[in-house]
Amino acid sequence: MTKTARMTYTSRCGTARKTKAILEEEGYEVETIDYLDGALSREELARLYDRAGLTPRQGLRAKEEIAKGLNLADASDEEILDAMMQHPILIERPLVETVKGVVLARPQDKVREIL
């Protein structure tokens, strides 16, 4: 049986590259989702957060200048998801999904929880 994983990914992120390497070392075929190019739908992102037991706020890159400018401190989960769809850089990465679950792999070794 082939082991597969899906993950939000950008090659500019060292944690994402290291996480992908861990998955590959463990024999996983990795499907990458280029979330910065809009390849991740709002519904899919909400589903991943739900499966990971995270709120959109917990998946928000709050230190990004865009986040500061959008005043998301008092925003609802729905408003945060909307902001993430408009500005995908606000999505913390990498989100990794296997048959065993979903994690926000920060640090990258957290991915081992779902292998």
Catalytic residues: 13
* Three-state secondary structure call for residue 30: strand
Whats the size of the chain, residue-wise? 115
Phi, psi of 104 (to 5 degrees): -90, 105
Per-residue HEC secondary structure of 70-112 comes to: HCCCCCCHHHHHHHHHHCHHHECCCEEEECCEEEECCCHHHHH
